[in-house]
Chain A
Amino acid sequence: MTITYREALREALREALTEDERVFLMGEDVGAYGGCFGVSLGLLEEFGPERIRDTPLSESAFVGAGIGAALGGMRPIVEIMTVNFSLLALDQIINNAATLRHMSGGQLGVPLVIRMTTGAGRQLAAQHSHSLEGWYAHIPGLRIIAPATIEDARGMLWTALEDPDPVLLFEHGSLYNVPGELAADAAAVDIDRAAIRRAGGDVTLVGYGGTLRTALTAADELAADGVEAEVVDLRTLRPLDEDTVLDSVRRTHRLVIVDEGWRTGSLSAEIAARAAEAALYELDAPIERVCTAEVPIPYAKQLEDAALPQAADVVAAARRAVG
């Protein structure tokens, strides 16, 4: 069946709410409004206000309440409108969710899922467009996942809910309307491994979330010129599935990383460092990175486009690598 990314997420929520009475959804405008991006539309009518909870604009309180409810035996799903707003809850996420298990010597666990939108491309300017998931991937105690496909949008939530530790799920804003095919029996997917979305022997392109499409588009263009790119979708940003990336690099000997975060101190930097540490002598060309320009995301379309990683930039980087 054909379904959008948004609908796939909604189906995942519906399944979780149906299958596990401990699950509830909480966040700003998730109920009566139907979700800021329409993901939870109709769920209030189906599951009622106890389990689809509209909250005040109090990110720290409702994220922390999600942590507390998880400690208290529930399986909360907290929605934060965008990653930019999650900064108002950073204390709760990092000082509580990520640390309670360790600080308590293993007595406590926080089985919480926090969903949020990330990324640019919709002319929403600097306070709605940043990609800060790489920051979160810095933090021990968290698991960071970024579904890029319809199948993962449908299947990652359940797996995340089964995780005994806090999971942050990043939904790229440009993906909600993207349609795709989903098997009728689609179910939970693993969140441990990266996936090879396109096989190729000439160069490895690494992307995730919103940049997977950029990498795949670039791979098509490269193929027209006879360059076969292998495209790796990271899927999970922490812990990184280093093996899948490095195995690909050992086959192609060239690495291009596409990251919508800023280059400095980014996830792309982490992947490049690991490739250099573990596979330097496999590389036939310097590692290439295609990242967002070091600027708060601007409003005007031509400026925003210029700030973001584009398929043409990836093609150019891959051609430099291939030589």
Chain B
Amino acid sequence: MTTKHREDLLRQMIRIRRFEERCVELYSSTKIRGFMHLYIGEEAVAAGVLGALGPSDAVVSTYREHGHALARGISMEAVLAEMYGRTNGCSRGRGGSMHLFDAGRRFYGGNAIVGGGLPLAVGLALASAMRGEPVVTACLFGDGAVAEGEFHECLNLAALWRLPVLFCCENNLYAMGTALARAQAETDLALRASSYGMPSWPVDGMDPLAVAAATERAVESIRGGSGPCFLELRTYRFRAHSMYDAERYRDRAEVERWKDRDPIPRLAALMREDGELTDAELETIESEVGDELTAAIAAAEAGPFEPVSDLTRFVYAEHAS
């Protein structure tokens, strides 16, 4: 992997981390409302997976998707303005934190029904296969989705029809407050997926280099026409499930143990060791990300509100009359 590639991964993770840290402040000062689910700790997955896709590939995501959206190239301004409920938000303020969309970047949301995005990904892949386009649809979901019927229906259908889907299970060990072992009889999720006859492997989701390498390998296989792949990305969220979570279900010590594996300092240390990163360079990245964030907040706060008279727009297509 080139230095440039590693630096891109590092920068992407820092962008996501700093963005969400600021979101916490904005939420506390009530500028952002609704449910907000933070991704902090899981950035290696977004950086590694999304970074390995091309612009014509499609992405289906979940309600914990700020990181996915940013890594897909949706601007900080568009994501933040969405959380502010403004028309310059990437869903014009109709979706909020859980429903980020960008049709041009083929980012199909932002789905707040656990498992609800999997069938969409199968269909997007079916469309590209029927149209003869060499496109991969990446479908991100959490370990909680594995308990849903749609998970099993969709893995079967994608494998049966050899569709170009990359199933990316972000296993952060908790479905909201329910630990994996309290919900799943078999906790080896890659093993479960492999029973549907698709290549499936576990990946260290705290290591962006491992995530990027696994994604590249899977994408190459899928683009080659051999059907879907499944990645179990073993990761951990450092923060609560949402802003309303008292975290009664896990030990602080467990969280601290996982923080020792924080992907950002881990990659930075590796790059320093290999002579690919100096303190000054890291400072530059932080400073550039800080500037980007400051500009995004200003733009979000300056964004116009949708007039209430437009309330019922976008329920149906608007016909030219």
Task: Judge: A and B partners, yes or no.
Answer: yes
Interface string of B104-128 (1 = CB under 8 A from A): 0000111101001011111111111
Known contacts being A56-B156, A58-B153, A69-B124, is A104 close to B119, with CB within 8 Å? no
B285 to chain A, nearest CB (A): 31
Instruction: Find residues 54-101 in chain A having any chain B CB closer than 8 Å to their own CB.
Output: 55-56, 58, 60-74, 76, 91-92, 95-96, 100-101
Q: Are B101 and A107 in contact (CB under 8 A)?
A: yes
B80 to chain A, nearest CB (A): 15
Tell yes or no: B276 within 8 A of A by CB: no
In the bound complex, what is the Cα–Cα distance between A140 and B116 (angstroms)? Answer: 19
Most buried by B among A66, A67, A92, A105: A105
- A-B contacts, CB under 8 A, total: 148
Tell yes or no: B94 within 8 A of A by CB: yes
Query: Which residues does chain A contribute within 8 Å of B128, judged by CB atoms?
Result: 72
Query: Which residues does chain B contribute within 8 Å of A50, judged by CB atoms?
Result: 130
Which segment, of B169-177, B297-305, B313-321, faces chain A?
B313-321
Interface residues on B, range: 35 or more
Tell yes or no: B160 within 8 A of A by CB: yes
Q: Are A68 and B124 in contact (CB under 8 A)?
A: yes
Q: Are B123 and A67 in contact (CB under 8 A)?
A: yes
Instruction: Find residues 144-172 in chain B having any chain A CB closer than 8 Å to their own CB.
Output: 149-150, 153-154, 156-157, 160
Query: Which residues does chain A contribute within 8 Å of B313, judged by CB atoms?
Result: 106
Known contacts being A68-B122, A140-B315, is A73 close to B127, with CB within 8 Å? yes
Query: Which residues does chain A contribute within 8 Å of B116, judged by CB atoms?
Result: 64, 91-92, 95-96
Tell yes or no: B92 within 8 A of A by CB: yes
Interface string of A29-60 (1 = CB under 8 A from B): 00000000000000000000010000110101
Most buried by B among A65, A76, A141: A65
Q: Are A105 and B93 in contact (CB under 8 A)?
A: yes
Query: Which residues does chain A contribute within 8 Å of B317, judged by CB atoms?
Result: 101, 109, 163-165
Tell yes or no: B103 within 8 A of A by CB: yes
In the bound complex, what is the Cα–Cα distance between A71 and B135 (angstroms)? Answer: 14
Most buried by B among A69, A70, A101, A163: A69
Interface string of B158-199 (1 = CB under 8 A from A): 001000000000000000000000000000000000000000
Q: Are A73 and B131 in contact (CB under 8 A)?
A: yes
Tell yes or no: A108 within 8 A of B by CB: yes
Known contacts being A60-B150, A91-B113, A91-B116, is A106 close to B122, with CB within 8 Å? no
Q: Are B314 and A106 in contact (CB under 8 A)?
A: yes
Query: Which residues does chain B contribute within 8 Å of A108, judged by CB atoms?
Result: 101, 103, 108
Tell yes or no: B69 within 8 A of A by CB: no
Q: Are A104 and B91 in contact (CB under 8 A)?
A: yes
Tell yes or no: A5 within 8 A of B by CB: no
Interface string of A118-148 (1 = CB under 8 A from B): 0000000000000000000000110100000
Most buried by B among A68, A96, A100: A68
Q: Are B119 and A71 in contact (CB under 8 A)?
A: no
Rank and list the top 7 A-B pairs by shortest CB-CB distance, nearest first.
Answer: A68-B123, A64-B119, A72-B127, A105-B92, A61-B153, A58-B153, A65-B123
Give me 11 A-to-B residue pairs in the complex whose CB atoms sit less than 8 angstroms apart, sorted by A's number: A56-B157, A58-B154, A62-B157, A66-B123, A68-B125, A92-B116, A92-B119, A96-B111, A104-B101, A104-B109, A105-B95
